[in-house]
Copies of this chain bind each other. A is one copy, B any other.
Amino acid sequence: MTATPTDPHYTENVQDHLIQVQRLLDKHALVETVAHNQSLPRDERHELLDKMLHKRHLAELRERLADLHPADIAYILEALPIEQRLLVWELVKADRDGEILIEVSDAVRESLIATMSREELREAAEQLDTDEIADLAPDLPQNVMRDVFKSLSIEEREQLRAAMSYSEDSVGALMDFSMVHVREDVTLEVVSRYLRRFDELPDHTDQVFVVDRDDKFKGVLPINLIVVNEPEMVVGDLMITDTIQLHPDEKADQAAQSFERYDLVSAPVIDEDNKLIGRVTVNVVLDFIRSESETDLLNQAGLREEEDIFASVWKSAQNRWAWLALNLCTAFFASRVIGEFENTIVQFVALATLMPIVAGIAGNSANQTTTIIIRSLALGQITQGNASRLMVKELAISGFNGLVWGGIAGLFAYFLYHSVPLGLVMMSAMMLNLILGALVGIGIPLAMQKLGRDPAIGASVMLTAITDSGGFFIFLGLATIFLIS
């Protein structure tokens, strides 16, 4: 089912295609404008343009698109503004709709599905494997899903139901069902004869799975071993039993780490009864790793989700609001902390100029600490045996940094305002705030991890909130005690 009607065409540089498509779209748009120019007589316009130029550009565009790999079309669709995107989408041959929908990002997929009829959506879904339909399912209307479900065989329905039942970050969500299995008591010759009955093996078939009569998993037989061994060898003698076995409820990122560590191309998925139920392939793992790392970057910047770069201003703004709102709340709070010290500031206005330094550097340093900790947590390097050791180390670094950078900042303050006490307050405040930053920089991700939540989400907003408010409080507090009265 994954086989495309024609062989996919590969492109060295897909951006060139994008630029060509954009050029054709621009020409098309120009012609459209002229064609609707009311100053020309209607007939003339039609004959001259609509027939000659207009259709020529679209035909050229259609031809160009027909040659492209679905993934490349997906890329072009993502890079086009919404009205051009829908024009291109119309031109794409209907028999590749499904594959393209699978390839585009969630945000863009939504914009494409919105233009498709129930019938078109059903046809698109029917081109796909059950595991791909499961990926698409959350975006499809209920009635379409019902239609699709009816069109499947009993075995496929079972697969679809299974695929949809696993949570998004589990191995089950990465799994597909296109695996080849053989028995352990046959010879390689029998296996070869069996394989020759396929026109094409499923993508990423680097190994066939060995199962018994009840589908219980026995081992794997790499295709390469079929190729290098004599045909009379028996599967059971060649198969590898000491191999990675994934379980559908396992965390997807643990499976991804296995793929990275052991350089896998595919791995079997086994249920609790040791029955082979599917496989995971490296291309899916690659996509998973890419999307995980993008999510991390987006979340760190305070974006809720991947954004269609041509989404409406309104939609994009909504994607960014949650975090800006949170940020505004913490800023208001920090502002009130400063407000408590208005009297102190009036008496010593230098404090107002220096306080952002104290807050800023500690925020930066705390972010460094938390990034190291989150990364080590993700790699599973932090255990009970070394957590306290790490804590001590990070505190030592921040204390040391406090001395160095606090000292420099203290000197800066002294030279500007010629006050030794001010310099000392500056230095102590920097040191204390850096240490506070290290404490929360370690504490927040560890606590999140303990609570079973993703330590990367929201860490930096919380950190900055604490180092800002904390910095203002420590600096202005120390100043009130030692400089005023």
Contact = CB atoms under 8 A, between A and B. Distances in A.
A468 B353 CA distance: 12
A36 interface: no
A254 to B, nearest CB: 8
A205 interface: yes
Contacts of A345: 345, 349, 352
A320 B412 contact: no
Interface in A382-423: 382-383, 385-386, 389-390, 393, 396-397, 400-401, 404-405, 408-409, 412, 416
A381 interface: yes
A243 B10 CA distance: 6
Interface in A132-150: none
A323 B367 CA distance: 11
A380 B8 contact: no
Interface stretch (A115-123, A223-231, A272-280): A223-231
Majority SS of interface residues in chain A? helix
Contacts of A300: 297, 300, 371
Contact of A368 (B320, B336, B356, B393): B320
Given A320-B397, A356-B356, A22 B228 contact: no
Interface stretch (A53-61, A256-264, A446-454): A256-264
One complex includes copies of this chain to the number of 2
A353 B342 contact: yes
Interface residues of A, number: 135
A412 B332 contact: yes
A324 interface: yes
B242 A227 contact: no
Given A196-B230, A201-B227, A331 B356 contact: yes
Interface of A: 7-10, 12-15, 18-19, 22-23, 26, 69, 71-72, 75, 78-81, 192, 195-196, 198-201, 203-206, 223-230, 240, 242-245, 254, 258-263, 265, 282-283, 285-287, 289-290, 293-294, 296-298, 300-303, 307, 309-310, 313, 316-317, 320-321, 323-325, 327-328, 331-332, 334-336, 338-339, 342, 345-346, 349-350, 352-357, 359-361, 364-365, 367-368, 370-372, 375-376, 379-383, 385-386, 389-390, 393, 396-397, 400-401, 404-405, 408-409, 412, 416, 464, 468, 472
